[in-house]
Structure 1
Amino acid sequence: MAIRQRLAQPGTSGRVQARRPVRCVRLNVSAGGKVYIDPVKNECAAFAPATVANLGPGFDWMGCAVQGGGDTVVAKVIPGKPGVVEIAAIEGDGGRLSLDPAKNCIGVAATETLKLVGAVSCGVSLTLNKGLPLGSGMGSSAASAAAAAWAVNGLFGAPVPKDKLILAGLASEAAVSGYHADNVGPSLLGGFVLIRSCKPGEPVELLQLPFPNPERLHFVLVNPKFEAPTAQMRAVLPKETPMKSMINNCCQGGALVAGILTGDVKLVGESLDRDVIIEPVRAPLIPGMMAVKEAAKAAGAYGCTISGAGPTAVAIVDDPAVGARVAEAMSAAFRNAGKLDVNTAQVVKLDPEGAKFV
């Protein structure tokens, strides 16, 4: 059964449906009578996994978390500076990301998380370790935001449930890549997440979709040395689409969900392979992508498409040995047809947990 969660935006009506474990929150009453929330620890580290968004026909409404790479954020208390957010250091980005918290997704996510926690008595200092390449199509910014939100939340005993923290992640994503939850949702929650509603100023509604027998599902992820910024890849999307194409993608999107809920690996692979709206306009911008897609299927994959906005390609298999063969074929196609070197080629499983303390 799908788990339904409806998240209320600040200032709107709505409800949050979630099971909340007992947590300890330390309160501090100042001389003027104002109640502040004190941290319960001085330092907290969190990891958030990579994600595969869109999954072919599920553009902007489907994503999943995968094991393997991800980003780590360490949050430390700054005494005497209520609500202040600072970024102390960033590692693994080649010096490309800003240390200005208002211009970096971890700073935005941390700021919004503090608002969700309440009137806190301290500030936070953040250190980000980038485990995911920028512009990779594996939810790089979302992993950073999810790790930051979970780490800051952890300083105060994790009083805010993960599903509500998606609002902090959305604010962060909106600042860097657009207002969409198909990366930050699964990076926080884990597993497959369907975004039923996600519009600024309105409640966000998510459906967590269980996948039976997840040990049978394997993702082949091949990331070439090529950057595909989300903003540029969104700029090529069609403003209108033919009715025939819309019907096809609705059909394949429904089949994708059916495959997930029934644990049908083949149906998941075949469905994500049949997008006729987004992939046809994005694939030509990624050198060799169509050759990679064909090579994956020829080597035994059930289907292959672009992960997120690309350039990473994702294929679906039910056997890790087949996955290794598919990874080799996809890598060769990127090198031969796309003239691109390959950063990583890996066979990974679904990540059911999402963000976690480390």
Structure 2
Amino acid sequence: MATCFFCPPPIGFKTNNNAISIPRFTIRCNLKTEPDAVCGAVKAFAPATVANLGPGFDFLGCAVDGLGDTVSVRVDPQVHPGEICISEIIGNATNKLSKNPLWNCAGIAAIEVMKMLGVRSVGLSLSLEKGLPLGSGLGSSAASAAAAAVAVNEMFGKKLSVEELVLACLKSEEKVSGYHADNVGPSIMGGFVLIRNYEPLELMELKFPSDKELYFVLVTPEFEAPTKKMRAALPAEIGMPHHVWNCSQAGALVASVLQGDLVSLGKALSSDKIVEPRRAPLIPGMEAVKRAAIHAGAFGCTISGAGPTAVAVIDNEHAGHAIGKHMVEAFIQHGNLNASAQIKQLDRLGARCIHTSHDM
């Protein structure tokens, strides 16, 4: 399916004085002319992410190396100029994802980037390779959006800033799970990211020391935890003591990242008193899994994003495998769920182009 998004503008969008107004933010195009495609085809990869990191609900996240989604975009003369179509979806959950670009995370982000650039003279075809399962708590929708945004931007000469790419991806996140950037921010930027503000968007990169070793033990049970359902479980109000506690733990977590202090990072990661207590009971065995991880030597453990993946941190890969084994056993024994463990490092690069072709 191909979708035109320039004429007429969809409901909720206005075009005046060369500006595109979008609910929540306004993007003003500074390009005097439409950019030319500098590549005939682009393939981009975007990494998985761990959002929240315990007490950092909706404002802290980090990227994970070796896991993610891949998007390929090409100029397609069979697609009407100014339109985009999704030609193929392969990998995980192909039967659950729509090829309608208005209802697909990669399609929505690609459309937003084309709008920002003012591209209307060529049509694009997009294919998506899902390396991440849906509803895993590893930023599946964000990775699709980030890979698509970076691919389209690369195709037209990388005109957009990091913040603009994140805004394009936020349109996707807003439709599928809520207006939060703790997945798309780190998926685009890599490393640890703090979202300081949403209106206007302000992102802060948190530099984890390059000489420090950090391993994530990611244990994913055979259980789906849709983000919307997990957000519905959150309290509408919180007491001042819990607010003060979580703020102090989030501050300690940020300081620990910057200092490379994994022991303190793990302690803060494990200390959420607002979100995790509401979500953990919805994931069978999660509380036992956390206890098993820490007992096995992990510096800390919490729910990755909305779950059901549990994430523990350690500074040694061999120890990570042992911790993962104990966590898998806890899911089986206490949650009656099969689970798989992966040991991954921090992705410091973020979404990136992995192949280009200049054949038009």
The corresponding residue for 2:87 is: 88
CA distances 1:6-41 after superposition (whole Å, capped 9, x unpaired):
xxx9576899xxxxxxxxxxx9xxxxxx94322111
Structure 2 residue 315 is matched with structure 1 residue 288: no
**Partner Cα distance (1:221, 1:204) in 2:** 29
Whole-angstrom CA distance in 2 between matches of 1:65 and 1:214: 18
Q: Does 1:59 find its partner at 2:80?
A: no
How do 1:27-106 residues align onto structure 2 when only pairs under 5 Å count?
35-79=33-77, 81-92=80-91, 93-106=93-106
* 1:47 Cα deviation after fit: 0.3
2:118 aligned partner, one-letter code = G
How far apart are residue 141 of structure 1 and its match? 0.1
Q: Is the 8 A contact 1:214 1:350 kept in 2?
A: no
Matched residue type, 2:103: K
Measure the CA separation in 1 of the matches of 2:258 and 2:243. Answer: 23
- Please give the alpha-carbon distance, in whole angstroms, between the structure 1 residues aligned to 2:212 and 2:86: 38
Paired with 1:221 and 1:230, the residues of 2 have a C-alpha distance of 18
C-alpha distance in 2, partners of 1:330/1:289? 9
Segment drifting more, 73-82 vs 221-230: 73-82
Return the offset for 1:123: 1.7
What do residues 108-151 of structure 1 show as CA deviations (whole Å, max 9, x unaligned)?
Answer: 10000111222342121110000000000000000000001011
Q: Provide the C-alpha distance between the structure 2 equivalents of 1:166 and 1:134, rounded to a whole number of angstroms.
A: 20
1:219 aligns with 216
Write the distance in 1 (CA, Å) between the matches of 2:51 and 2:276.
13
1:121 aligns with 2:121: yes
The letter of the residue matching 1:153 is N
Asked if structure 1 preserves the Cα contact closer than 8 Å seen for 2:44 and 2:351, the reply is yes
Q: Is the 8 A contact 1:14 1:203 kept in 2?
A: no
Matched-pair contact (CA < 8 Å) for 1:51–1:139: yes
Decide whether the 8 Å contact of 2:27 with 2:116 is kept in 1. Answer: no
1:55-99 per-residue CA deviation (whole Å, 9 max, x = no partner) reads 000000000001021000000112373321111011122311011
Deviation at 1:42, TM superposition (A): 1.2
| CA positional deviation for 1:309 | 0.1
Counterpart Cα distance in 1 of 2:204 and 2:250:
14
Distance apart, 1:338 and its partner CA: 0.6
SS at match of 1:95: helix
The one-letter amino acid paired with 2:257 is: I
* 2:249 is the alignment partner of 1:252: yes
Structure 1: gaps of 5 or more residues: 1-8, 16-26, 28-33
- Counting matched residue pairs gives 330
CA-to-aligned-CA distance 1:296-332 (integer Å, 9 cap, x gap): 0000001100000000000011111111111001111
Aligned-partner Cα distance in 2 for 1:336–1:291: 9
> Amino acid of the residue matched to residue 55 of structure 1?
L
2:97 is paired with a residue of what secondary structure?
Answer: coil
Is residue 153–residue 160 contact of structure 1 (8 Å, CA) maintained in 2? yes
1:320 lines up with 2:321 in the alignment:
no
1:347 aligns with 343
2:34 aligns to what SS in structure 1? strand
Q: CA RMSD in A?
A: 1.9
2:262 to 261, 265, 287: 265
Distance 1:124 1:13, change over 3 A: closer
Q: Give, in whole Å, the separation in 1 of the partners of 2:162 and 2:179.
A: 18
Moved beyond 3 Å, runs of 4+:
9-15
Relative to the length of structure 2, the TM-score reads 0.88
Deviation of 1:157 after TM superposition, in Å, equals: 2.1
**Alpha-carbon distance in structure 2 between the residues aligned to 1:163 and 1:94:** 30
How far, CA to CA, are the matches of 1:13 and 1:175 in structure 2? Answer: 17
The 2-side partners of 1:307 and 1:357 are apart by 26
The alignment status of 1:157 with 2:154, answered yes or no, reads: no
Q: Which residue of 2 aligns with 1:170?
A: 170
Could you tell me which amino acid in structure 2 is paired with residue 351 of structure 1?
D
User: Following TM superposition, by how much is the alpha carbon of 1:214 offset from its aligned partner in structure 2, in angstroms?
Assistant: 5.5
Alignment-derived partner of residue 19 in structure 1:
none
Match of 2:136, SS? Answer: coil
Do the aligned partners of residues 254 and 14 (structure 1) sit closer, same or farther apart at CA in structure 2, a change above 3 Å counting? farther
What is the distance in 2 between the residues matched to 1:354 and 1:91? 22
TM-score by length of 1: 0.88
Q: Aligned AA for 2:87?
A: A
Q: Deviations over 1:212-236 (max 9, x none)?
A: 1354111110111110000000001
The one-letter amino acid paired with 1:91 is I
